[in-house]
Amino acid sequence: MISFLLAYITLTLFGMILLGIYGVATRSNLIKKIIMLNVMGDAINMLFILIGYRLVFPVFPPIYEKHITFEEFLSRAVDPVPQALVLTAIVIGMAMNILLATYAIQFYRLHGTVDARDMAEIMGGEGE
Amino acid sequence: MKRDVIVAVSFLLAFLFIAYAVVYINVLGLGGAELRPLGEFYLGHAFAHEGLTSHSPEVVTAIVWNYRGFDTLFETFVFFLAIMGAFSVLRLTREQESIVRELEAKEPHRQMDLITRATTKLVVVMIVAISASIALHGHLTPGGGFQAGSAMAVALLLLFAVFSKFTLERKGLNLRHTISAYALGLALILATVLAPVFLYGGKVLEINLLPGETGLFNLDVGEYTAVTFGFLTVFLVLGVSEWIFKTVLRGEVDD
């Protein structure tokens, strides 16, 4: 049962990542691209946390407490490394979002469009 | 049309391949009761009651600011660059700022209804309290400066949506003050990072040398201030009404 649930969640997350790549590649609206980038990023973060999880019961957060012995702590605490990776990734993702959204808004104010094909024409490249 | 079919089929094949690799071969190593060796090392060595220690019983914080301290420090700089990139695109000269102020005075006074405003006031107070507790307890409980800063940014966004930019500016949170506060947070981080070099003759970011938990506490509080006011700075510039910004931009084009 538990392995079925784990496989189900993991495959859903991988599906979300592929969906994100698909959305970024095929939609031409910049706002939709940013939204799909977020879907992808959140799925990847979730996957990281899932990798750090341990199938033991009860499972502890990686924090030392007085009433837990050291051996018990080592055998029960989840892996702290993926959590540390995700912790900063979330905020950097938010900052990246702000940067992208700002550029999209400013482009819309200047040229009245957020479509990537129009953008290519305006900037002098070759549109489709 | 034909290209769409090819794209869809190739994505399906990729998904099937990943599904096979994850479920049958278990390439990610999911669902085990064993720790990875690296995780075990961190759990075992992060906190000691005597001798070398990271001063943090919370292993995630120990990794973020001690074992991978440089990574976190430079992520702070990445955050700084992102905020400054957004800010420099939306920048206004001094004349443009005065035009904006003139036009904003003409804007009609609108407000949401009483229920929304009262609820928001309550919720914002709670979010601020929780974010402060996350930041100040960062070295003992899950979280830290980054998390607390993003929680605080949510509270400020709520204020933006329900009240307005002008309410915040009337309370003293204008652009000049938020940028100063942001610089203050970054200065606190830099001072803490450089303190071991000048006070104790150690290396950069060797915060174990500082007495007790001062190093971690300072870094958490500095990160909290930096993230909160960094976000607020961009929100304040993004909060200028669309028609006002367009008027200002048109003036720039005509010149």
Q: Which domains are present in chain A?
A: 2-122 (1.10.287.3510)
Q: Is A123 helix (H, G, I), strand (E, B) or coil?
A: coil
Could you give the ipTM of this predicted complex?
0.85
**DSSP-based three-state secondary structure for A13:** helix
Given a cut of 80, whether residue B210 has pLDDT beyond it is yes
Interface test with B, best of A36, A67, A81 (most B CBs within 10 A): A81
The SS3 assignment for A54 reads coil
Q: Report d(CA A90, CA A88) in Å as an integer.
A: 5
Collapsing DSSP to helix, strand or coil, A115 comes out as: strand
The CA-CA-CA angle for residues A33, A39, A42, to 5°, reads: 135
Q: What is the DSSP letter of A78?
A: P
Please tell me the distance from the alpha carbon of residue B176 to that of residue B143, in angstroms, as a whole number.
Answer: 29
Cα angle, residue B233 at apex, residues B227 and B239 outer, rounded to 5°: 130
pLDDT in tens, B82-134: 999 999 988 888 888 888 888 888 888 778 899 999 999 999 999 999 999 99
> With 80 as the cut, is the pLDDT of residue B53 above it?
no
B149 touches chain A (CB under 8 A): yes
CA angle at B204 for the pair B201 and B208, rounded to the nearest 5°: 75
pLDDT category at A65 given cuts 50, 70, 90 is: confident
For residue B111, give the amino acid letter.
Q
Instruction: Quote the CA–CA distance of B149 and B229 in Å, as a whole number.
Output: 8
Give the rounded percent of residues in chain A with a pLDDT score beyond 70.
97
Are residues B78 and A95, on separate chains, in Cβ contact within 8 Å? yes
Distance between A38 CA and the closest CA of chain B, angstroms: 16
What integer pLDDT is reported at residue A126 of this predicted model? 60
Q: Where are the domains of chain B?
A: 2-34, 55-254
Residue A60 dihedral angles phi and psi, to the nearest 5°: -105, 155
The pair of structure tokens assigned to B181 is 């506060």
Closest CA to B35 of A24, A54, A48: A54
**What are the beta bridge partners of residue A79?**
none
Residue B251 in contact with partner chain A when CB distance is under 8 A: no
Contact between chains at B60 and A10 (C-beta distance less than 8 A): no
Beta bridge partners of A29: A115
**Is-contact A36 B61, C-beta < 8 A?**
no
Could you report the per-residue pLDDT of A66-110, keeping only the tens digit for each?
888 888 888 888 999 999 989 888 888 988 899 999 999 989 988
Q: Pick the residue with more confidence: B63 or B251?
A: B63
Please give the single-letter amino acid code of residue B86.
A
**What DSSP letter does each residue of chain B carry, written as one string?**
-HHHHHHHHHHHHHHHHHHHIIIII-TT-TT-SSPPHHHHHHHHHS--SSSS--S-SBHHHHIIIIITHHHHHHHHHHHHHHHHHHHHHT---HHHHHHHHHHHHHS------HHHHHHHHHHHHHHHHHHHHHHHTTTTSS--HHHHHHHHHHHHHHHHHHS-HHHHHHTT--HHHHHHHHHHHHHHHHHHHHHHHHHHS--TT-GGGSSTTHHHHHHHHHHHHHHHHHHHHHHHHHTS-HHHHHHHHHHHHH-
CB < 8 Å to A15, chain B: 15
Contacts of B245 in chain A (CB under 8 A): 109
Please tell me the predicted confidence (pLDDT) of residue B178. Answer: 93
**Interface membership of B40 toward A (CB under 8 Å):** yes
- The per-residue pLDDT for A125 is 65
Chain CA centroid to CA B61, Å: 16
